[in-house]
Amino acid sequence: MVLLENDAFLTELTRLFQKCRTSGSVVITLKKYDGRTKPVPKKGQSESFEPADNKCLLRASDGKKKISTVAYSNLLRAHIDGLKKKDKKSKSKKTKATQ
């Protein structure tokens, strides 16, 4: 699993989409992230992390390659815009087919 910076993640995600145009799927996972870097301790209270509330984890995979990034609020709009243009372009042939 490759952890990337937001811009690099966006670039790699675009590349993943392009690679999977002829076959395969792109899976994107989104989850709220509180800044934990260690697993939750079973015994004892080692609360060595301060919970952060403004981050989320984004992961993407094409079945073989996996990439991920921690996204902050200001980067998210850029990500969704990048994604939308790609999807609309490739999905437009579907609307034409059904109409």
Write out the two tokens for 80. 């969704």
Q: Contact between 50 and another protein (CB under 8 A)?
A: no
| Cβ count near 79 (within 10 Å) | 19
Q: Contact between 37 and another protein (CB under 8 A)?
A: no
Q: Contact between 3 and another protein (CB under 8 A)?
A: no
Q: Contact between 65 and another protein (CB under 8 A)?
A: no
Longest dimension (CA), the chain: 62
Q: What span, in angstroms and rounded, lies between the C-alpha atoms of 68 and 95?
A: 31
Kindly write out the interface string for residues 8-27 of this chain, putting x where it contacts another protein by CB under 8 A and - elsewhere: ---------x--xxxxxxxx
DSSP state at residue 50: -
Residues in touch with another protein (CB under 8 A): 17, 20-34, 53-56, 71-73, 76-77, 80, 83-84, 87-88, 90-95, 98
